[in-house]
Structure 1
Amino acid sequence: MDLEIKPDQLKVLPHHQYVTTDGISPSTVAPSPIDQFRIWFKEAVEGGVVKEPEAVALSTATPDGIPSARMVLFKKLDPRGFVFFTNYTSRKSEEMLANPHASLVFYWKEVHRSVRVIGQVEKVSREESEEYFKTRPYGSQIGAWASKQSTVVQEGELQGRVGELEEKFGADVPTPEFWGGWRVVPTEVEFWIGKPSRLHDRVRYLRVETTRDDQPQWKIERLAP
């Protein structure tokens, strides 16, 4: 990447063009975006070149429409949608409680692919949250209790809590009541492949509104790059 740097400005100059041999179209993708994502994610993991395929940008908004975005870790795909876990008192959770819509963006730079998801959000069951919490490393379990996510902390305060909680819980850390999973139930999913001259392949799934939650149907279209 080349930069033009001036005292009051930084400019990214034209650089790498995508060179990809694969492509997608409405006629080649799976009938369901859930199935198509499963195919792409499996390829991203098994290909061994994507550094962190589960990293995903999550965007939420207040009821007034003020957006915020951050990176989270995608943890589960089920027939309803995309699941991640977090503190239920965090900024993102508070925004989703007040405005139950969100978007996700996966970007797999190494294979020039991206997936964008828009949908409604819902909490996963308590049983699902507890099941996943038990698989987390001990430090992450303690960290979930120690961090009052998105609040201001003083230097050394977090480390002090960690020590107290390790003494309190020992090796058996329970799932916090204020922690658990969210599921993004998609109404729109776009699959993107970078192509030369910015003439990217884009295929979008739009959920047919009249279809049932447990049996959604999808309209599949090509979008202009």
Structure 2
Amino acid sequence: MTENPHALFDTWLTQATESEPNDPEAVALATATPDGRPSVRMVLLKGHDERGFVIYTNRQSRKADELEANPRASLLFHWKTLRRQVRVEGAVSRVSDEESDAYFASRSRDSRLGAWASEQSRDLDHRDTFLNRVEEMRRRFEGRDVPRPPHWGGYRVAPERVEFWRDREFRLHERRVFLPDGRGGWTEGLLYP
């Protein structure tokens, strides 16, 4: 029964990409403050491999503050059309500046300008204030490339537990859990629904 959870995730994500009408890479990211106050929000998965699952954000945001203070997180992918979900739990680390630069360069120009203009998670007096800041950034970078702001980058969740859940008739769901085996591989088991 044992598979590599990364390979199984790739298969499920490919199937979700074919069936989900919007954002198959959308994932709920759960963090906590140092004193244990939980917080969850939807983000977009921007990369995954054997090292883990990568998201990007303003590193002055609430989520980044929580990831820096308490570098553990949970992810939840829910693909309603497939009636499946994947849960990932693990330690969090920053991705390299090179990886952050490469991803940032792949974003649309307006998204890059928005990253400079936004004081993510801070109080905003009026939407026009933000839109005016975007226009200021448009003028600032007119005719040249928009580099990655120093306060913006990625985080990687290195999985220590991965659970694959499939809906089954009469709520007799299937739950497969993968845990590291301590030798660079994985052990697999089942959980009661």
Scaled by the length of structure 1, what TM-score is found?
0.82
Q: Does 1:109 align with 2:77?
A: no
Q: Give 1:20's aligned residue.
A: none
Deviation at 1:51, TM superposition (A): 2.7
Q: Give 2:60's aligned residue.
A: 89
Q: Give 2:10's aligned residue.
A: 38
Alignment match of 1:206 (pick from 179, 190, 193): 179
Q: Give 1:220's aligned residue.
A: 188
Structure 2: distance between partners of 1:80 and 1:100: 16
Segments of 5+ residues of structure 1 without an aligned counterpart are 1-26
Structure 1: distance between partners of 2:50 and 2:185: 13
Residues 138-157 of structure 1 aligned to structure 2 (within 5 Å): 138-155=109-126, 156-157=128-129
1:192 and 1:203 in contact (8 A); partners too: yes
1:204 and 1:222 in contact (8 A); partners too: yes
1:50 and 1:111 in contact (8 A); partners too: no
Runs of 4+ that moved beyond 6 A: none
Structure 1: distance between partners of 2:22 and 2:170: 26
Residues 164-203 of structure 1 aligned to structure 2 (within 5 Å): 164-170=136-142, 171-203=144-176
SS in structure 1 of the partner of residue 106 of structure 2: coil
Q: Does 1:137 align with 2:105?
A: no
Segments of 5+ residues of structure 2 without an aligned counterpart are none
Deviation at 1:149, TM superposition (A): 0.5
Amino acid at match of 2:53: F
Deviation at 1:63, TM superposition (A): 1.1
Q: Give 2:34's aligned residue.
A: 63
Question: Cα RMSD between the aligned structures?
Answer: 1.1
Larger CA deviation: 95-104 vs 154-163: 154-163
Residues 110-125 of structure 1 aligned to structure 2 (within 5 Å): 110-125=81-96
Per-residue CA distance 1:70-94 (angstroms, 9 max, x = gap): 0000010122000011000111111
Deviation at 1:162, TM superposition (A): 0.7
Per-residue CA distance 1:113-150 (angstroms, 9 max, x = gap): 10000000000000000001111011100111111000
1:204 and 1:221 in contact (8 A); partners too: yes
Deviation at 1:50, TM superposition (A): 4.6
Larger CA deviation: 112-121 vs 162-171: 162-171
Amino acid at match of 2:189: E
Structure 2: distance between partners of 1:109 and 1:91: 28
1:84 and 1:182 in contact (8 A); partners too: yes
Structure 2: distance between partners of 1:49 and 1:187: 27
Residues 8-23 of structure 1 aligned to structure 2 (within 5 Å): none
Q: Percent identity?
A: 48
Structure 2: distance between partners of 1:115 and 1:142: 33
